[in-house]
Structure 1
Amino acid sequence: MADFWLPLLLAVSAVWVLRAWRARRFGNKARKAATYTYPPGLEPYPLIGHLPQFLANRHRVLDWMTEALERQPTATFVLRRPGGVRGAITANPANMEHFLRASFDNYPKGPKFASLLHDFLGRGIFNADGEAWRAQRKVASHEFNTRSLRAFVARCVHSELHGRLLPLLRRAAASGAGARLDLQDVLERFAFDNICRVAFDHDPRQLPDDGDDGTAADGSFADAFRDAANLSAGRFRYAVPGFWKIKKALNVGSERRLRESIAMVHDFADGIIQSRREEMLRDGFEKHDLLSRFMASQDATYSESEVPLRDVVISFLLAGRETTSSALTWFFWLLSSRPDVRRRIRDEVAAVRARRAQGGVDTIVGFDLDELREMHYVHAAITESMRLYPPVPVNSLRAETDDVLPDGTAVQAGWFVAYNSYGMGRMESVWGRDAREFRPERWLSPADGTFRPDSPFRYVAFHAGPRVCLGKEMAYIQMKSIVACVLEELDVAVDGAYRPRQVASLTLRMADGLPVTVKPRRNC
């Protein structure tokens, strides 16, 4: 085996050297004009760039990048990778507005980013650029702005929350044995059930129904989807860029597992699409899920072909499964050490209940959309949690042409530019001296206590500019419903000594989950 890998590693090393020489030999005017200074300890090494620092901090890469950004006056850091690969990582709001809005067309996701996720997402909306992206965005934007889709999402959330999640938590609370459950796993299962219903009206039953014996349905699709997402994310973390391509060509290791997982996901999705097409042709039955809406659109791309539909649906499945569960996991961890925040949330929920009772209606389970909109403090607390722990902590784009960012950083054509949402949430230059504190009040108007949004280029949890998240309102419906209903009747306790380890998948997750103890609510 060593006789095989040694020549392979030597060949890869030779490629690094060649790329570094070409980058040095054929540098353009933008490079000649640019000068980059680094504080002590962050200077790049010849040929291998910042690889030693990256490897030393791989277990805490987000905090390492945040520290590097804090040490730069512009909150922008030029990263050098082996083989002459360079890019600018920033937590500067002016830079973010520049490449997310003002110079949007100069900063697509680019072919390198797209290649990393192409096997899984194909040309879906989150992995597309140019006209392919615009066409999907147009259809999706129309559908996400319909009242009927919002109502359908609310019904799906209500069914999953009151039929599965709350009964599961009540059973845990009633056990009385102090048994722990992994709240991250529970929330991911909830999110996957919910987004499968919204995306193609399929129920994978990752959480058991109330009254079931606890035996969930076949989880092979859910398991394959999780593995495909995690293994695809692993391609971004290689210290040697592109090494995954060698493993893919040889069909070994993680790339072999990824191929098998993706094949299962694609086969399952294709089966759903085919059966839905036959159902619609036979019965003319119009459903409210995203798949049916795209199939019924006037765009022939989706009415006649399976692959574009599959790419779109899988993209929305990924977004729906990963983001809200990540946000809520970190929220409940932060909340566990802030009884004052928990008390204010409960007071607000009780006030909404009281107003309903005054109106003579007190038999509805859960909360309707208007009542959720009244929960300004709940909204602020969730938003503040995502400021510190954004579900997508880093996002990357590609510079098409030479450019100079608003802070003076010169960027060359072909460089990657990455905006670091995790780092930005900790920048005192952006949020003040209390930037690292969990303080929901920063989002409330001092005058009347209503929620007060900030610039999307300072708070990029939902991205900004033309690619701003279409599912933002629906995400808040789901998250506010869960927070309000859970805290209204239950205590979710986390061991005060527990410090979660971060793991970067496609979203920010806890490496060891979030072990919690659920108890009936006390009077606090």
Structure 2
Amino acid sequence: MIDLREFSSSFVPLTAAALALLLAIFIILFRGPKSPYRAKKYHPIGSSHLSQVLNFYRVHDFMTDLARKHKTYRLSTFSRSEIFTTDPAVVEYILKTNFPNYGKGLYQYNILTDLLGDGIFAVDAEKWKHQRKVSSYEFSTKILRDFSSAVFKTTAVKLARIISEASTSNQSLDMQDLFMKATLDSVFKVILGIDLDGLSRTYEEGARFSDAFDKANAITSFRYADFFWKIKRFLNIGSEAELRKNIKVVDEFVYKLIKSKIELLNNPHADTQPGKKEDLLSRFLELKESDPKYLRDIVLNFVIAGKDTTAITLSWFFYLLCKHPDIQEKIAKEIMQATQVRSDFSIEELAAKVDEQTLDQMHYLHAALSETLRLYPAVPVDPKVCFSDDTLPDGFSVKKGDMIAYVPYAMGRMKDIWGNDAEEFRPERWLNENGHFQPKSSFIFTSFQGGPRICLGKEFAYRQMKIFSMILLGSYKFKLNDESKPVKSRTALTLHIDGGLHLRVFSRSNRDTTVDA
């Protein structure tokens, strides 16, 4: 992964100087009477790119501070505006009401396409519609739901066994790292039907892929901040040379798996093999989707969607449970009541009790996970591009080519949306008078987007996180390894915990004698 401090030491001063020059040019260009910004009403300028660069290490909290002054504000350059909003009416407008006018755009496509190709998260229009239609159908099938649930349980049990060793030896664990490996194992099994085995790293080729994929993802993310990435790509130097090398490793691995899967499905003697057509790739191949490049793009888009997001959410969730041990115990009690396991249960016995019926009873767990996503959304900022001049519901104008982003991280902290206790971790806000989970509008709770682009894997993500949580929290109690050490996010496209999440683990069967020691 890229060292953020090393990156910032060279990138920030150069960028600050460049932005200061661009800002001066912008002021000169638009002070005259011909300025287009005098003809229409535009959002107030909340800050400058220079200020964002100087606050790079805390950019999400910096944007939250700005949002408390203006629900919607803009940063301007000499070429376009970048608009940031926490206004639910504006969010609904760009995600639903006038959805066709806001999308990824060519700017984001150019950034993402080397890694994600023409996958669903990089494209608009007909390419997006086709993949959305096919994927939506497959995600709704009972076959994929049952297969994924079995995969999640198997992986969670494997993770619990690793945690058991640490519990016995009283060692601390980096739970974020373990969640990252476990969710990648799960998503690979569901999508490709193979065991990547990242948790134990016995599959050497799979480990190389995993490392290369993480590095390629990180470098692609930093393209949003690196003004010189196209030059570096053209010259094949620096981070872009590293990106090309890692994408080659990723492509070789994925294309090899696709070829093997096609050969397997075309083998008439392989019909008796169990699970042959349960994974997502096999389902797409059954629909006669046989172009390797198309399948490669689908695979990597779903891997990137299903890997980091659930792992990040689980990491922040376990952090919050360590900060609120009363809530951790309340969830553990709900797990015991739902599963009705004996006091001397094994991990496998608990896992066997985790099914659709018990998952549906976990209202408080579902609420606590949603509360985690409200405060720590896996994707803290989600940008779109305006395709033609428009006027937003708040009466302000937006120009063709402008970027407009809604900010889930800041929205979760707005008192006018969530009340005076907006910054508190309180799962009860998601429960009705009967203690049942009560969903919120997707235009105030934006972790899964809303409108036509609402996340296809939303229910899969909740199912995976609930299964992992039930097996782990039903078996162990978790505490921060160092209560005095601050836990904060790392500035990137996804909200990783900076430096990992280091926890100590105690078996619930002997917690009364061990935890207090």
TM-score, normalization: structure 2? 0.88
Equivalent in the alignment of 2:506: 519
Equivalent in the alignment of 1:4: none
Contact 2:389 2:399 in 1 (8 A): yes
- How far apart are the structure 2 equivalents of 1:415 and 1:261? 32
Equivalent in the alignment of 1:149: 144
Cα distance change, pair 262–27 in 1 and its aligned pair in 2 (3 A): farther
**Partner residue of 2:315 out of 320, 329, 334:** 329
Contact 1:231 1:258 in 2 (8 A): yes
- How far apart are the structure 2 equivalents of 1:53 and 1:11? 13
Alignment of 1:413-424 (within 5 A): 413-424=400-411
Q: Give per-residue Cα distances to partners, 1:26-49, cap 9 Å, x unaligned.
A: 9886762124445xxx55xxxxxx
Equivalent in the alignment of 2:225: 237
- How far apart are the structure 1 equivalents of 2:292 and 2:23? 40
Contact 1:86 1:416 in 2 (8 A): yes
- How far apart are the structure 1 equivalents of 2:31 and 2:125? 31
- How far apart are the structure 2 equivalents of 1:331 and 1:520? 19
Note if 1:288 corresponds to 2:278. Answer: yes
Distance apart, 1:458 and its partner CA: 0.4
Distance apart, 1:67 and its partner CA: 0.3
- How far apart are the structure 2 equivalents of 1:332 and 1:9? 37
Contact 2:86 2:408 in 1 (8 A): yes
- How far apart are the structure 1 equivalents of 2:188 and 2:208? 14
Cα distance change, pair 506–266 in 1 and its aligned pair in 2 (3 A): farther
Note if 1:172 corresponds to 2:163. Answer: no
Cα distance change, pair 408–325 in 1 and its aligned pair in 2 (3 A): same
Cα distance change, pair 509–79 in 1 and its aligned pair in 2 (3 A): same
**Partner residue of 1:340 out of 326, 330, 335:** 326
- How far apart are the structure 2 equivalents of 1:152 and 1:36? 48
> 2:135 is matched by which residue type in structure 1?
A
Contact 2:19 2:49 in 1 (8 A): no
Note if 1:135 corresponds to 2:161. Answer: no
Distance apart, 1:18 and its partner CA: 7.8
> 2:235 is matched by which residue type in structure 1?
L
Cα distance change, pair 27–464 in 1 and its aligned pair in 2 (3 A): farther
Equivalent in the alignment of 2:3: none
**Partner residue of 2:475 out of 478, 484, 489:** 489
> 2:50 is matched by which residue type in structure 1?
P
Distance apart, 1:353 and its partner CA: 2.1
Contact 1:393 1:508 in 2 (8 A): yes
- How far apart are the structure 1 equivalents of 2:65 and 2:404? 18
Give the unaligned 5+ runs of structure 2: 1-14, 344-348
- How far apart are the structure 2 equivalents of 1:66 and 1:86? 19
Distance apart, 1:168 and its partner CA: 0.2
Q: Give per-residue Cα distances to partners, 1:282-318, cap 9 Å, x unaligned.
A: 23645111111111115xxx23x11111001000011
- How far apart are the structure 1 equivalents of 2:411 and 2:282? 38
Equivalent in the alignment of 2:154: 159
Give the unaligned 5+ runs of structure 1: 1-7, 44-49, 209-213
Q: Give per-residue Cα distances to partners, 1:84-142, cap 9 Å, x unaligned.
A: 33121001110000000000000011010111111000110111100000000000000
Secondary structure of the 1:502 match is: coil
**Partner residue of 2:108 out of 91, 113, 117:** 113
- How far apart are the structure 2 equivalents of 1:58 and 1:188? 24
TM-score, normalization: structure 1? 0.87
Cα distance change, pair 129–19 in 1 and its aligned pair in 2 (3 A): farther
Alignment of 1:224-263 (within 5 A): 224-238=212-226, 242-263=227-248
Cα distance change, pair 191–490 in 1 and its aligned pair in 2 (3 A): same
Cα distance change, pair 84–60 in 1 and its aligned pair in 2 (3 A): same
Contact 1:381 1:440 in 2 (8 A): yes
Q: Give per-residue Cα distances to partners, 1:303-337, cap 9 Å, x unaligned.
A: 3x111110010000111111000000001111101
> 2:453 is matched by which residue type in structure 1?
R
Contact 1:490 1:519 in 2 (8 A): yes
> 1:392 is matched by which residue type in structure 2?
V
- How far apart are the structure 2 equivalents of 1:380 and 1:233? 30
Secondary structure of the 1:340 match is: helix
> 2:320 is matched by which residue type in structure 1?
L
- How far apart are the structure 2 equivalents of 1:363 and 1:65? 43
Q: Give per-residue Cα distances to partners, 1:466-520, cap 9 Å, x unaligned.
A: 0111111111111011111111121111122222231133311012001111121
Equivalent in the alignment of 1:202: 194
Q: Which sits farther off after the overlay, 454-463 or 272-281?
A: 272-281
Equivalent in the alignment of 2:250: 265
Distance apart, 1:258 and its partner CA: 0.6
Distance apart, 1:416 and its partner CA: 0.3
Equivalent in the alignment of 1:67: 65
**Partner residue of 1:79 out of 75, 79, 85:** 75
- How far apart are the structure 1 equivalents of 2:390 and 2:38? 10
Identity of aligned residues (%): 37
- How far apart are the structure 1 equivalents of 2:139 and 2:336? 31
Contact 1:206 1:217 in 2 (8 A): no
Distance apart, 1:265 and its partner CA: 0.4
> 1:377 is matched by which residue type in structure 2?
Y
Distance apart, 1:52 and its partner CA: 2.2
- How far apart are the structure 1 equivalents of 2:59 and 2:146? 40
- How far apart are the structure 1 equivalents of 2:72 and 2:366? 30
Note if 1:34 corresponds to 2:41. Answer: yes
- How far apart are the structure 2 equivalents of 1:87 and 1:363? 50
- How far apart are the structure 2 equivalents of 1:355 and 1:23? 69
Secondary structure of the 1:53 match is: helix
Distance apart, 1:250 and its partner CA: 1.4
Note if 1:354 corresponds to 2:340. Answer: yes
- How far apart are the structure 2 equivalents of 1:322 and 1:133? 22
Note if 1:375 corresponds to 2:362. Answer: yes
Distance apart, 1:457 and its partner CA: 0.3
- How far apart are the structure 2 equivalents of 1:26 and 1:324? 51
Equivalent in the alignment of 1:223: 211
Equivalent in the alignment of 1:479: 465
Distance apart, 1:366 and its partner CA: 4.4
Contact 2:389 2:398 in 1 (8 A): yes
Distance apart, 1:449 and its partner CA: 0.5
Equivalent in the alignment of 2:418: 431
Q: Give per-residue Cα distances to partners, 1:415-473, cap 9 Å, x unaligned.
A: 00001000000000110100000000000001x10000010000011111001111111
Structure 1 vs Structure 2 CA RMSD? 2.7
Contact 2:166 2:505 in 1 (8 A): yes
Cα distance change, pair 86–354 in 1 and its aligned pair in 2 (3 A): same
- How far apart are the structure 2 equivalents of 1:346 and 1:410? 50
Alignment of 1:289-304 (within 5 A): 289-298=279-288, 302-303=289-290
Equivalent in the alignment of 1:46: none
Cα distance change, pair 518–146 in 1 and its aligned pair in 2 (3 A): same
Contact 2:44 2:74 in 1 (8 A): no
- How far apart are the structure 1 equivalents of 2:191 and 2:32? 50
Cα distance change, pair 462–353 in 1 and its aligned pair in 2 (3 A): same
Contact 2:216 2:247 in 1 (8 A): yes
- How far apart are the structure 2 equivalents of 1:408 and 1:325? 39
Distance apart, 1:379 and its partner CA: 0.3
- How far apart are the structure 2 equivalents of 1:9 and 1:332? 37
